[in-house]
């Protein structure tokens, strides 16, 4: 076994007892512990999700979902979004500011559909305000500044 493989294995073992951090679920080293993801559609919505391991609190998973939704909104060139807790709610235009967090095999997971809208839209959530509100909790040690 090479020293790189050994270091990666040791890091993976040491992280297995920690709560899921804020990172992409596609991260080759950390993704197996959970993380965020997003995908386009259906229509003009974007499905955003976050899955955690057994050590993270459901409330934190909900915060991570909101933070990721705000990041995706800005990535797509928007400033505000509306949140739908399910595709059924999106079709019926039943908007929410709450995050439903479920448990799968004892691990908290959640997803929502977002729709990027103008600032004056009914129930619009400001991406900038959400990023500012949760920055210290999502990315501690950054003094509230996000990494780009």
What pTM was estimated for this model as a whole?
Answer: 0.78
3 pLDDT band, cuts 50/70/90, is low
Question: Could you report the per-residue pLDDT of 36-80, keeping only the tens digit for each?
Answer: 999 998 999 999 999 888 888 999 999 999 999 999 999 999 999
Residue 69, classified by CB atoms within 10 Å of its CB into exposed (0-12), middle (13-18) or buried (19+), is buried
Residue 145, classified by CB atoms within 10 Å of its CB into exposed (0-12), middle (13-18) or buried (19+), is exposed
What sign results for the dihedral spanned by CA atoms 50, 24, 44, 132?
A: positive
Question: Could you report the per-residue pLDDT of 12-40, keeping only the tens digit for each?
Answer: 444 445 777 887 888 766 656 788 999 99
Is the predicted pLDDT of residue 142 greater than 80, yes or no?
Answer: no
């Amino acid at each position: 076994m090479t020293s790189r493989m050994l270091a990666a294995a040791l890091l993976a073992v040491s992280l297995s007892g920690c709560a899921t951090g804020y990172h992409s679920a596609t991260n080759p080293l950390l993704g197996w512990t959970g993380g965020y993801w997003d995908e386009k559609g259906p229509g003009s919505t974007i499905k955003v999700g976050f899955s955690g391991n057994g050590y993270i609190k459901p409330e934190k998973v909900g915060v991570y979902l909101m933070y990721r939704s705000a990041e995706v909104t800005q990535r797509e060139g928007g400033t505000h979004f509306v949140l739908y807790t399910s595709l059924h709610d999106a079709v019926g235009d039943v908007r929410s500011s709450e995050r439903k967090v479920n448990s799968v095999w004892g691990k908290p997971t959640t997803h929502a559909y977002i729709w990027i809208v103008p600032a004056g839209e009914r129930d619009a959530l400001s991406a900038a305000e959400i990023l500012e509100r949760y920055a210290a909790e999502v990315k501690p040690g950054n003094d509230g500044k996000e990494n780009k």
